Amino acid sequence: MAVGAEQTINYFPIAGFKLGTTSAGIKTAGRKDLVIMQAQAGSTMAGVFTANAFCAAPVHICRQHLASHKPLLMVVNTGNANAGTGAQGMLDAEATCAAVAKLASVSKAQVLPFSTGVIGEHLPMDCLLDALPQAFTKLTEYGWSDAAEGILTTDTRTKGASVKVNLSGQDITISGIAKGSGMIRPNMATMLAFVATDVALSPELTQNLVREAAELSFNRITVDGDMSTNDSCMLVATGASGKALHTNTDDYHVFRGALISLMQELAQAIVRDGEGASKFIAIEVQGGQNRQECLNVAYAIAHSPLVKTALFAADPNWGRILAAVGYAGVHDLDVNLLTIHLGDVLLVANGGRAASYTEAAGQAVMDLEEINIRVDLQRGTYQETVWTTDLTYEYVRINADYRS
């Protein structure tokens, strides 16, 4: 189940970046579950990772390798998160890096590992290591579609985006893939995202761009409020186009906007494929005194089981939304000033139900597959948007049966 029609994604290849995918049988025999990505020499890589204190072994290794080296390869396995696996998990992640490094004739520290799947189980290293050479031989600039499939877990569809951007008369390319469906909340979600471009970026600029773009995309989504142990978002700049970018230029701002837009498209695709989701919800909060209070209100609504189940039932129970706004912790909130809209329908004004509201109007919006909830706090100029889903019977079934 997913919200909206599945789109065919036409990936533009990124010069200097290759992807190879195979099946290692890590959890399900015959399923694509192992991906290697390789960037040409001179490329820059940067990433942002989960804020979970129990972050997985590969997250630890990624941070170490990025801090002291210039990685050129990434290896991703699904079906097993290699999280909560102690010292052995670290050894397994390092062994995976070493095996890929040997295939590519680089140092172990130039390989970044990523895992996603069940927490608390050790990687089946024999089948993983045996399959790495096959993934390596399949490396191609046209491997995006297979890789998009190879990184999935409970997802029902692949998630990708690809654009060409004109910078001072020269076309450059950005392509990306992501996975994620459940255990989704900001900072970050149980997601993996890999974005590559053929522009040249300094290491510092690559890091700044991925951090900023992730903050405005993957850190604005939530499905169930649970924070993963494994989420990672990577940006790779190969420089193969010969176009170098620097801050405070028109080309930089155009590129930045295109990158944020592409990553928002990937993030919203994760929400649309949220586990069991039947609705896609945008929650806009405006009129805040600062960004954080806007986000606090948006997440109070997005994380409320009562709001989410009402959305699933298409029940215009607007009191649940009002209550969530009220407990969001906004200091000195004047409830008589704020307004709440459901789509174009005014729900709340002057501290209670709007005089113009009718149940029929509210029901018409709740029957839609895509719904916008808008809160105006009427106390400042800041605004933020968060994307989320409803909470369905199917979500419970998926997560009750996850390990079976």
pLDDT at 332: 95
Q: Count of residues for the chain?
A: 404
Task: Supply the DSSP string of 103-129, one letter for each residue.
Answer: HHTS-GGGEEEEEEEETT----HHHHH
Ordered domains of the chain (ranges, CATH): 17-272 (3.60.70.12), 280-400 (3.10.20.340)
**pLDDT at residue 333 is higher than 70:** yes
- Could you give the percent of the chain with pLDDT greater than 70? 95
pLDDT at 187: 47
pLDDT in tens, 125-138: 999 999 999 999 99
For residue 37, say if its preceding peptide bond is cis, omega within 30 degrees of 0: no
CB-based contacts of 339, cutoff 8 Å, min separation 6: 346, 348, 349, 354, 375, 376, 378
pLDDT in tens, 263-291: 999 999 999 998 788 999 999 999 999 99
Q: What is the mean pLDDT of the chain?
A: 93
Whole-angstrom Cα distance, residue 99 to residue 226?
Answer: 33
- In the sheet with 280-288, reading across from the earlier edge strand, the strands are 352-353, 345-349, 339-342, 370-376, 280-288, 382-389
pLDDT in tens, 339-353: 999 999 999 999 999
**pLDDT at residue 2 is higher than 70:** yes
Phi, then psi, of 234 in degrees rounded to 5: -120, 145
pLDDT at 189: 43
Residues 390 and 279 sit within 8 Å (Cβ to Cβ):
yes
Catalytic residue among 21, 22, 85, 190: 190
**pLDDT at residue 181 is higher than 80:** no
> How many C-beta atoms lie closer than 10 Å to residue 133's C-beta?
16
Q: 19 - beta bridge partners?
A: 37, 140
Window from 235-249, 279-293, 384-398 with minimum mean pLDDT: 384-398
Window from 40-44, 220-224, 252-256 with minimum mean pLDDT: 220-224
pLDDT in tens, 88-108: 999 999 999 999 999 999 999
**pLDDT at residue 154 is higher than 90:** no
More confident residue, 54 or 351: 351
Whole-angstrom Cα distance, residue 18 to residue 12?
Answer: 12
Based on the residue annotation, tell me whether 190 is a catalytic residue of this protein: yes
The CA-atom distances, in angstroms, between 299 and each of 73, 143, 320, 397 are 36, 36, 14, 24
Torsion of CA 380, 385, 386, 392, to 10 degrees: 100
More confident residue, 399 or 314: 314
How much is the CA Rg of the chain, to the nearest whole Å? 22
Range 35-56 average pLDDT: 92
7 confidence band (pLDDT: 50, 70, 90): confident
- 3-state percent breakdown (helix, strand, coil) of the chain, nearest 5: 35, 25, 40
The β-bridge relationship of strands 370-376 and 352-353 is unpaired
Whole-angstrom Cα distance, residue 351 to residue 358?
Answer: 17
pTM of the complete model? 0.92
pLDDT at 403: 60
pLDDT at 401: 72
Residues 274 and 365 sit within 8 Å (Cβ to Cβ):
no
pLDDT at 204: 96
Residues 73 and 111 sit within 8 Å (Cβ to Cβ):
yes
